[in-house]
Structure 1
Amino acid sequence: MLVLHNEKKYTFVRMLILLDIDGVMVPTTIWKPTEILSDGFPNFSSKATNSLQTIINRTGASILLTTSHKSKFNKYQWEEIFKTRGIVANIDVLENNEDNLNRKEEILRWFTKATIAESFVILDDDKSLNGLPGHIKDKAIVTSGTVGLTIDHANEAIDILKKEEFIIV
């Protein structure tokens, strides 16, 4: 907890990036085959890698994987996959989707369980997120699946996360 001179108490808000991979970190194109690295997972685009690392560096945010690939690896394997691709981050995984919910429904379920001291941004190419309630949709950045995450998206994500960096207690 951080206490300032006027004795108001501020609590640092945990920052999270709810991250999809396909269409965000790995743009999907029919004209260029996806490069698979030795760990058996696709390489991330350099533009997306730089953009995501910029968000992490400027906010200290952790990653919560929402990707359909999330259950293929455990937390430590994911951290190694990201590290191999040049991204150093604390990574958690959204709970398994045993109910076969779409991405919008998965995020709504997560949101109902999230603690109030979490600021988050959603990075995904799933257009169903446009149907989220306004207070959650305002935190969603829907990328073009063929382009992926860009520095403009990164700057928007940083702005969203920084809006709730501190809360007064």
Structure 2
Amino acid sequence: MLILLDIDGVMVPANSWKKPEFMEDGFPMFNLNSVKALQRIISETNASVVLTTSHKTKYKVSQWKDLLKSRGINPKRVQRLSTNSLYVSRKDEILEWYLKKHVPNEEFVIIDDDKMLNGLPENLKGNLILTSPSVGLTDDLADEAISILQNRSFQSAR
């Protein structure tokens, strides 16, 4: 099981009126509610993280593991999408990953705030959890992500 994870707008709320707080490693602090929600997804599904964030090449994978761990997130494995050397959209990066690297029948969820991902093909869009950039990942969205990873239909309480 895989979580394709963006950071800005998912783990770090994007609020233009508020400068993010940074930790000693030089990267912004994550929203505590988002951390709890992501760690619950990981704990309940044993999913690995695939970083899709625009920050993905700032650090080596081993550094990302440490960065996530220092913020209370402990996936069994951390990977990242290939370097975006052609500056394609996140949507195109995910499509390329799906076509070239996705293992058939491996459950995955995409957690992102990029509304352009609504343009994904339907078979991928069904795996998309779209966050509000100013709020980030919530418990309700975590429930939806767990349902997708466990291949269950989700019945929203909304």
Matches of 1:99 and 1:108 in 2, distance apart?
14
Q: CA deviation at 1:78?
A: 0.2
Normalised to the residue count of structure 1, the TM-score between the two structures is 0.87
1:124 positional shift:
0.2
| Structure 2 residue 103 is the aligned partner of structure 1 residue 101 | no
Counterpart Cα distance in 1 of 2:17 and 2:112: 22
**Partner residue of 1:157?**
145
Q: Tell me what 1:7 maps to.
A: none
**2:119 paired residue number:** 131
Q: What code does the residue aligned with 2:13 have?
A: P
Matches within 5 A, 1:18-167: 18-89=4-75, 90-113=77-100, 114-163=102-151
String of CA shifts for 1:95-134, please: whole Å, max 9, x gaps.
Answer: 1011111010000000001111421000000001000000
- For 1:46 and 1:103, the matched residues in 2 are separated by 25
Q: Per-residue displacement from partner, 1:77-96 (whole Å, max 9, x unpaired)? A: 00000011011112111110
Structure 2 runs not aligned, ≥5 long: 153-158
Counterparts of 1:153 and 1:29, CA distance in 2: 19
Q: Aligned to 2:94, what secondary structure does the other structure show? A: helix
Q: CA deviation at 1:30?
A: 2.3
Q: Distance in 2 between matches of 1:88 and 1:133?
A: 31
Letter in 2 for 1:100: Y
Please tell me the root mean square deviation across aligned C-alpha atoms, in Å: 0.9
| Aligned partner letter, 1:53 | Q
What secondary structure does 1:146 align onto?
coil
CA distance in 1, matches of 2:7, 2:23: 15
For residue 118 of structure 1, give the secondary structure of its aligned residue in structure 2. Answer: coil
Which structure 1 residue ranges, 5 or more long, are not aligned? 1-14, 165-169
Which structure dedicates a bigger proportion of its chain to strand?
1
- Percent identity among equivalent residues? 52
Larger Rg: 1
4+ residue segments displaced more than 3 Å: none
CA separation in 2, counterparts of 1:33 and 1:53?
25
CA distance in 2, matches of 1:99, 1:124: 20
